[in-house]
Amino acid sequence: MRIILALAFLSFLLLTGCKKDAEKITQNDIRYAQKLIGLQFSPDKIDTLTPYLNRNLAGYDSMRQHVLPDNLFPALLFNPRPSGFKISSSEDLLIFTAYESSTLPDLMDSLCFFPLAKISYLLRSRKLTSVQLTELYLKRIKEFDKTLKSVITLTEDLALEEARQADQEMDEGLYRGPLHGVPYGLKDLVAASGFPTTWGAQPYKNQTVDYDATIVTKLREAGAILLGKLSSGALARGDVWFGGRTVSPWDTLIGASGSSAGSAAATAAGLVAFSIGTETLGSITSPSARNGLTGLRPSYGTVSRFGVMSLSWSMDKIGPICRTAEDCALVFAALKGRDSLDITTVEFPLSYQHSRSLADFSIGVLQTAVDVDTSTGAGNLKSILSMLDSLGITMTEKKLPTQFPFKVFDIILRAESGAFFDQLVRSGGVDQMVQQDKTSRANSLRQSRFIPAVEYLQANRYRALLIDSMFQLMQDIDVLIAPNSAENQLLITNLTGQPALSIPTGLDSLDHPTSLTLIGKLYEEGTLLEIGHALQRETNFHKLVPPLFKPGKKEIN
């Protein structure tokens, strides 16, 4: 009990700063706190430590007299590139599927489940107006979202204004590209001027940001129409936010998974044409899998994070959640690229050609992970692999590295989130969050204050070795097929910064969607998306629609 009290007291001092002599760290505090770092110093060493720790404490207190802007990145930058890695200098090459013979469907709601390239053709050919399409999505949001709880802020007036502008521009011959006039939804970790940016959390429920995130600017320049800010699990954890739980349109008794819960649920239910999600450790791939969608988690640094809430500066990524791999390619092409406002971003080429076949690629598979997979989608994944085998596709068996201290790696995310939300914890605002249990974001932020800086840096040194190890593993293949549940694959690939694509594989016995993960090489999103598209040409799972939200369905009672 004395140890617990001493740790609590030392933590209080470190969090609040040294205000008066009675609050200074004593030798007894240090003696009990040693257990936290797994070391034991002799009494004379503790005596020499005491003034240093109090000096540090005074430094923390002086630092906290200043306010840091949310969009400020640390001076220490994460580099995901392996030893000797070089970025290609070739030009972008984008060739998407043509839908030149497409016509409007009998049921207009069917448009809400069309591929983006098909919607784009209908808009460009003026068989459909952006206002018509936008009004259709707005109608579906009003009918269905009280069930899903996927929309935090509806931007109806802005959407209709942008849609009218898009129609006028296209009528006058100004065409901005394949996203021109297409309505989308934005995860509410992303700033959009004039609207709340709540981060899904009660303490930030009324927060507004007076500028647009870079991706909002890019999508506006591409002519896309913002329909609304979509729910995020509180501070990017889970699918529970201050307005309730966002549910899956496939089964409204279960959550949509997180933290891009609203983005996935709204896209799957046909409330938006596509959506933007973010991922630090599964927040694009997991909700995409849960909701039967195709989600791209891009390489670290390929999409600007300026104006987006930080959870982990060295792990956060932004990407599209769509129906198909080609949809993801269309959106990613508009998002990617260097941004002077985000010093972690890089410029790299994107090559995507819709006509490439599976035989054009070298494919690896985590066969051992497939064999031991006991998830509900295991049979569907094995069927996909059998189908590839029947097509004559040779797959190379691979195994993920196991020689690293995986239990320590999550302190990287937790330490960085603790720094970003420092003021929230010290002010007590963290106590206002909806969830307060052992697995909650609130609890994660509190415990982050007990992570030693030395261990954080040591974990990042092992991370550098992990990057090189995965680089070597991927040398002779273009993509690696993995079960979603493969041990450590989600942690490894988020640490290395590699891209991943979630692909639907069908339904399980409960009619819930199942999925697999395609892992790509750093900055080779084009190849990853080409393989995903080629796979989806051989299957129809991406065309499945939640029964309660099919075209022609009315409000759910």
User: Where are the chain's structural domains?
Assistant: 93-100+109-403+458-548
Rounded to whole angstroms, how far apart are CA atoms 343 and 165?
Answer: 33
- Per-residue pLDDT of 105-157, as tens digits, reads 999 999 999 999 999 999 999 999 999 999 999 999 999 999 999 999 999 99
Rounded to whole angstroms, how far apart are CA atoms 534 and 232?
Answer: 31
pLDDT score for 351: 97
pTM assigned to the model: 0.93
Rounded to whole angstroms, how far apart are CA atoms 16 and 19?
Answer: 8
pLDDT score for 2: 44
pLDDT score for 453: 94
In the chain, which stretches have pLDDT less than 50? Answer: 1-10, 12-22, 557
Residue 171 to residues 130, 165, 166, 181: CA-CA distances in angstroms? Answer: 11, 10, 9, 12
Rounded to whole angstroms, how far apart are CA atoms 116 and 102?
Answer: 12
pLDDT score for 186: 98
Question: Can you give the length of the chain in residues?
Answer: 557
pLDDT score for 552: 86
155 close to 271: Cβ distance less than 8 angstroms: no
- Per-residue pLDDT of 244-280, as tens digits, reads 999 999 999 999 999 999 999 999 999 999 999 999 9
Rounded to whole angstroms, how far apart are CA atoms 239 and 359?
Answer: 39
Q: Which uninterrupted H or E stretch holds 520?
A: strand 513-520
pLDDT score for 556: 59
Task: Give the long-range contacts of residues 406-411, CB within 8 A, separation 24 or more.
Answer: 406/488, 406/491, 408/455, 408/458, 408/459, 408/462, 409/459, 409/462, 409/463, 409/491, 409/495, 410/281, 410/491, 411/451, 411/455, 411/456, 411/459
Q: Fill in the amino acid letter for 128.
A: L
pLDDT score for 492: 98
pLDDT score for 326: 98
The yes/no answer on whether domain 93-100+109-403+458-548 falls in CATH 3.40.50.2020 is no
